[in-house]
Amino acid sequence: MSKGAMGFVFGGICGAVAGFAAGVLLAPRPGAESRAMAADAMNDAWDTAVDTYERGSQAMNDKFGGVRPSMDATTDELRAKVDLARERMDQLRESLSGMSAAAASAEPKPASEVQVEPVDEPAASTDAAPEAPSAE
């Protein structure tokens, strides 16, 4: 350890011993009585914390109790919509699979049987600009 760290540890130990000695010599009551007072203070603090927790818990249950029915109704409504959407998706899947099966079973015509119709060529365009209507 370095010299500074050793000094810090030594100072901590000396301070703890001095604090213990001062506490024992200057204590206004005997140890048993001080421990009893400390235990009473801790029990009081614990009881206060438990009471505060129970009051807060009860208040939260009351608040959520009023919201719960509307949440349940909304949840039920959303579940019904999801079920309906799933049914519609299943119907679409079935109809698409039926269409693809029908398309796969249809035999394509051989190229010799396909008739191609001639396409009419568009009329030749003139580069002259159309005449503007006269303002008579």
The 10s digit of each residue's pLDDT in 72-123 is 889 999 999 999 999 999 999 888 887 776 666 666 666 666 676 776 766 6
Average model confidence (pLDDT) for the chain? 81
Find the mean pLDDT for residues 13-21.
90
- At 53 the pLDDT is 95
Whether the per-residue pLDDT at 43 is higher than 70: the answer is yes
The token pair at 3 is 């010299």
Nearest to 56 by CA among 67, 46, 68, 48: 48
Q: Is the overall model pTM greater than 0.85, yes or no?
A: no
CA-based nearest residue to 17, from 110, 57, 9? 9
pLDDT surpasses 90 at 126: no
Residue 125 pLDDT greater than 60, yes or no = no
Contacts of residue 34, Cβ cutoff 8 Å, sequence gap at least 6 = 27
As a whole number, mean pLDDT of residues 59-72 equals: 84
Let me know: does 34 contact 27? Beta carbons within 8 Å: yes
Helices H / strands E in the chain, number of each = 2, 0
Whether 31 shows a pLDDT value over 90: the answer reads no
